[in-house]
Structure 1
Amino acid sequence: MLMMLSFIMLACFIFFLMSKKLSALTALILIPTVFALIGGFYDELGTYILDGVKVVAPNGVLMIFAMLYFLTMTEAGMFDPLVTRIVNAVRGDPVKIFVGTVALACVVALDGDGATIYMIVLSAFLPIYKRLGLSLPMVCCLLLQVAGLGNMVPWGGPTARAATAMHVDVGEMFVPMLPALVACLAWTFVLAWLFGRRERARLGGAIDLNGHFADHQAERCGSGWRFCFNWVLTAGLIVALCLEVLPLSYLFMVAACLAMVVNFPRLKDQQAQLELHAPAILAVASLIFAAGVFTGVLNGTGMANAVAQGLLHVIPDGFGPYMAVITALISIPVTWLVSNDVFYFGIMPILAQTAHAHGITAMEMARASLVGQPVHILSPLVASTYLVVSMLKLDYAENQRFTFRWSLVNCVILLAVSLVTGIFPLFVH
């Protein structure tokens, strides 16, 4: 009964979201609430929802103050010289802009956090996209490709979870995967080139941006010492984030306050900054906490575990020799439907037991389980995806439809190169 209820709930969620009958915000709150009541969980519903909100609260606070920090720095002109250099390099050519977007995103992605990619890259490039009239869904798609791959670095969440669940060394597990990841990155650059060519044809060539940004930067105010302070503060913040000297959300709280006080000393100007950025920040924060309701109901009622068990029951026993590839394939939809924690700590140990009986090692299973990560980044349970969609002012469902096919291509490349390089087997004898 619970298994059927959970599958119907997920199907309804996908239908209402993709058909645009409900917004992401309302779907994340109303659909799990209705199905929790149908399942008879009204007595515990409040507890489940609060537990879910508590899980996403650190990410919610982090997003609020990280957005405030980077948006304030953008208004203060911190990224103007970077934008100028980019403008001089790309000269209004969509191909160069999209390739440059992916290149910068790849560098930032080394920290394993998608939110950082979106905020830094869009702070530099968003004025250029808007001035040229480039396709923002294409921009979002490219950033999500890089984020999905960057999330797989050893210090990223999925890789660490897979290694922990399978009790293997994360370094030994990750290094052989590098050729597959490099192939996926190469494809992402090709995709940027293809998108750029399409936009170049649509726009009729390149556009001269230099005059526009010269005038735009002339409007900026602030002295040289503030510019230096902003970069020193940002560099110190990044170091502190990497070293995790304090909780990440608190670091951004302090940094955002310092950025406001230094760059906009007058109280009236600080209030104006808050009013300016409040709509974008509220849009992201509300979606994150709405996702907490969805997560809380899914986990608290046991629906997430029911989905996991249901998927395991549909795998015939005779498929044991192919368990590595089966794991890779089911990781694509399953990590979109449920959290990484449910997949790696709930489903993977059971799959690994079956695989072990046929001679497939825990190391091979751990690598296979990461194939779905390029699609996982699109999951409604991934908070950072709401950030990039909100910053680009896109419709969440339309972005899902546009990006999914390209993320699926990355999954296929990851699977194909992994099989060719032998980091996990197609089947065992």
Structure 2
Amino acid sequence: MLALLGYMMIIVFMILIMTGRLSAMIALIVVPIVFAFIGGFGSEMGPMALEGIKSVAPTGIMILFAILFFGVLIDAGVFDPIIKTILKLVKGDPVKISIGTAVLALLISLDGDGTTTYMITISAMLPLFKRIGMRPLILAGIAVSASGVMNLLPWGGPTARVMTALNLEMSEVFTPVIPSMIGGVLFVLFMSYCLGKKERKRIGVIEFDYQGVDQQAAATEELHLKRPKLIIFNYALTITLLIALIMELLPSAVLFMSGFAIAITINYPKLSDQKERVANYADNALSVVSMIFAAGIFTGILAGTEMVDAMASSLIQHIPDFMGSHFAVITAVISAPFTFFMSNDAFYYGVLPLLAKAGSAYGIDPALIGRASLLGLPVHLLSPLVPSTYLLVGMVGADFGALQRSFLKWACGSTVVMIIVAVVLGIIPL
């Protein structure tokens, strides 16, 4: 009964946001509350929701101050040289722009943090997309696709969860999966090429002088915000922060809070300027952070009612015995919908141990199940439960449902390619 209730809740939620009947934020709040009452959890719903909100609070704080930190750097002109370099290389060809965007997002994703990837990639490329008339939704889709593949990096989170949940070493989980990651990267570049071809067919190649674009932009931007004399300091601060994030010297929320405090104090020492900058970012920050806390209610009720556990158990129990020898591939396939419909913590700490235990009954090593569980991650980042994706769509001014409709098929394509590479090379058994 709980499993059925959980499936119905997710189906209703997805229908509501993908048809535009409700905004994602409202659906994240209303749908789980309604289903909690239907399931008879009315009296326990409050503590469940509060627990979910507490679990996402560090992420919400981190993203809030990440928006503020990168907002200060953008205003100060830190990314202007990057934009100029990309303009020189790609000019007005949508194919080159799409592939350049993918390469940029893949490189920035090496830090393992989706928020950082989106902030830098969108900040660098959105002016160019707007200038030549390319759809910003494509920019968002390329960024999330690149980040989805690079999410397998050990410091990105999911791989570390696998190693912890199954008590495995990196050499047993991540290292063998690298060829699959390479396959995923090549697929993202192929996707970017296809999208660029469609845009080239729609708008053609726009011939323009990138220096003229810079001058035009300079005429319209608030030049008094630029801090060219501090660009070396700002680059050093950004690199230091990224290194600290990768090395996990402090919690990410604390690092971004500290980075923001330093960045705004050095670049805009006047209190009036600081207030003006914070007010300028408030709209974007509020819309993103409110979505994160709404997602906390959804995950809190989903986990607190034990619908997640019931859904996992029901799926495992319905796998026929004759398919037991293919359990690693089955795990890889179901990891996509499972990581889409629940948080990484819920899947890797709750469901994965059950999958590993079931696999061991068929003689499959837990390390193989762990590897397989990572291959659905490209789909995960399009989940309405991933906070950083709301930041992404907010930055490009797109609708979350539109992003899912346009790029879910590409995310599934990345997963399929990664699974095929894994099977062909013996990373997981067929």
Same fold (TM over 0.5): yes
* C-alpha contact (below 8 Å) 2:56/2:296 kept by paired residues: yes
Partner Cα separation in structure 1 for residue 358 and residue 82 of structure 2? 53
Match among 355, 360, 383 for residue 364 of structure 2:
360
Matches within 5 A, 1:158-173: 158-173=158-173
| Counterpart for residue 43 of structure 1 | 43
| Counterpart for residue 95 of structure 1 | 95
| Counterpart for residue 24 of structure 1 | 24
Q: SS in structure 2 opposite 1:198?
A: helix
| Counterpart for residue 145 of structure 2 | 145
- The letter of the residue matching 2:80 is D
Moved more, 198-207 or 68-77: 198-207
C-alpha RMSD of the superposition? 1.6
Q: SS in structure 2 opposite 1:359?
A: coil
* C-alpha contact (below 8 Å) 2:66/2:256 kept by paired residues: yes
- The letter of the residue matching 2:309 is N
Q: SS in structure 1 opposite 2:155?
A: coil
Partner Cα separation in structure 2 for residue 276 and residue 120 of structure 1? 18
Partner Cα separation in structure 2 for residue 224 and residue 387 of structure 1? 27
Listed as ranges, the gaps of 5+ residues in structure 2 are none
Aligned length, in residue pairs: 426
Q: SS in structure 2 opposite 1:20?
A: coil
- The letter of the residue matching 1:274 is V
Moved more, 159-168 or 211-220: 211-220
Partner Cα separation in structure 1 for residue 190 and residue 347 of structure 2? 31
| Counterpart for residue 259 of structure 1 | 263
Deviations 1:359-403 (A, max 9, x none): 211121111111211101111221111111111111111111111
Q: SS in structure 2 opposite 1:400?
A: helix
- The letter of the residue matching 1:264 is Y
Deviations 1:273-322 (A, max 9, x none): 22221111111111111100101111111111111112112212222111
Say whether 1:73 aligns with 2:77: no
Q: SS in structure 2 opposite 1:155?
A: helix
Moved more, 261-270 or 133-142: 261-270
Partner Cα separation in structure 2 for residue 231 and residue 126 of structure 1? 20
Deviations 1:216-241 (A, max 9, x none): 23652345432222222212222222
Pick closer, same or farther for the CA change 1:284–1:223 going to 2, 3 Å. Answer: closer
* C-alpha contact (below 8 Å) 1:325/1:425 kept by paired residues: yes
Matches within 5 A, 1:371-410: 371-410=375-414
* C-alpha contact (below 8 Å) 2:49/2:296 kept by paired residues: yes
Q: SS in structure 1 opposite 2:154?
A: coil
Moved more, 402-411 or 261-270: 261-270
What's the offset of the Cα at 1:251?
A: 1.8
Moved more, 260-269 or 50-59: 260-269
| Counterpart for residue 9 of structure 2 | 9
| Counterpart for residue 297 of structure 1 | 301
Deviations 1:179-204 (A, max 9, x none): 11111111111111111121122112
Pick closer, same or farther for the CA change 1:424–1:83 going to 2, 3 Å. Answer: same
What's the offset of the Cα at 1:171?
A: 2.3
* C-alpha contact (below 8 Å) 2:76/2:227 kept by paired residues: no
Say whether 1:115 aligns with 2:101: no
Partner Cα separation in structure 2 for residue 341 and residue 243 of structure 1? 21
| Counterpart for residue 206 of structure 1 | 206
* C-alpha contact (below 8 Å) 1:335/1:372 kept by paired residues: yes
* C-alpha contact (below 8 Å) 2:77/2:227 kept by paired residues: no
Say whether 1:215 aligns with 2:219: no
Identity percentage of aligned residues: 43
Pick closer, same or farther for the CA change 1:420–1:64 going to 2, 3 Å. Answer: same
Moved more, 259-268 or 214-223: 214-223
Deviations 1:64-88 (A, max 9, x none): 1101111121111111122112111
Which runs of at least 4 in structure 1 moved beyond 6 Å after TM superposition?
none
Moved more, 36-45 or 291-300: 36-45
Say whether 1:418 aligns with 2:419: no
Moved more, 255-264 or 275-284: 255-264
| Counterpart for residue 337 of structure 2 | 333
Match among 322, 328, 335 for residue 326 of structure 2:
322
Partner Cα separation in structure 1 for residue 127 and residue 294 of structure 2? 30
- The letter of the residue matching 1:84 is K
Q: SS in structure 2 opposite 1:92?
A: coil
Listed as ranges, the gaps of 5+ residues in structure 1 are none
Q: SS in structure 2 opposite 1:41?
A: coil
Partner Cα separation in structure 2 for residue 373 and residue 224 of structure 1? 39
Say whether 1:347 aligns with 2:344: no
Matches within 5 A, 1:161-240: 161-208=161-208, 209-217=210-218, 219=221, 220-221=223-224, 222-240=226-244
Partner Cα separation in structure 2 for residue 101 and residue 275 of structure 1? 29
Say whether 1:369 aligns with 2:370: no
* C-alpha contact (below 8 Å) 1:71/1:123 kept by paired residues: no
